[in-house]
Amino acid sequence: MRFLILAAVSIFACAAPAAAQQPGSAPAAQPAGRAGGPTAIELIKLCFEGTANGSVSNPVCQGYLAGAIGAIRISRTVSQDFPICLPEEGMSNLQVVNDVSAYLEQHEDQLQRSARSVLFLVLTELYPCDQGAGAQ
């Protein structure tokens, strides 16, 4: 099971948001110890920048969430003891962003953790699988 969880979490390392650069400038340096991908606060800021009409419109945020949620759904299909059981319908990107944001407001010490680890933690808490009830 650990292998599947690690595989799912590593898939969350979708393309990190690219810093705006001037043509010919050097790429922005990554903070030390960062294995790729945005921190939780960087992702949430990106997502809220693109919030309009009750939805998330920032394409980087949309792609990141689509990759993360897709990885979780795939992981659930290949592992009966995977800890997250997402609803088949009714889950929006904005809801996920709001859930992660609410978690970060209560756990400010988690702001600099990787977005993928915080997202995985939040979704595990919000959508746990009930193994005894034959979860999907």
**C-alpha–C-alpha distance, residues 121 and 68, integer Å:** 12
Query: Alpha-carbon Rg of the chain, whole angstroms?
Result: 16
95-133 pLDDT per residue, tens: 999 999 999 999 999 999 999 999 999 999 999 997 554
Work out the number of other CB atoms within 10 angstroms of the CB of residue 118: 23
pLDDT of residue 131: 57
What's the Cα-to-Cα distance from 80 to each of 4, 10, 97, 126, rounded to whole Å? 11, 19, 27, 18
37-88 pLDDT per residue, tens: 899 999 999 998 877 777 888 999 999 999 999 999 999 999 988 999 999 8
CA atoms within 13 A on the CB side of 29: 3
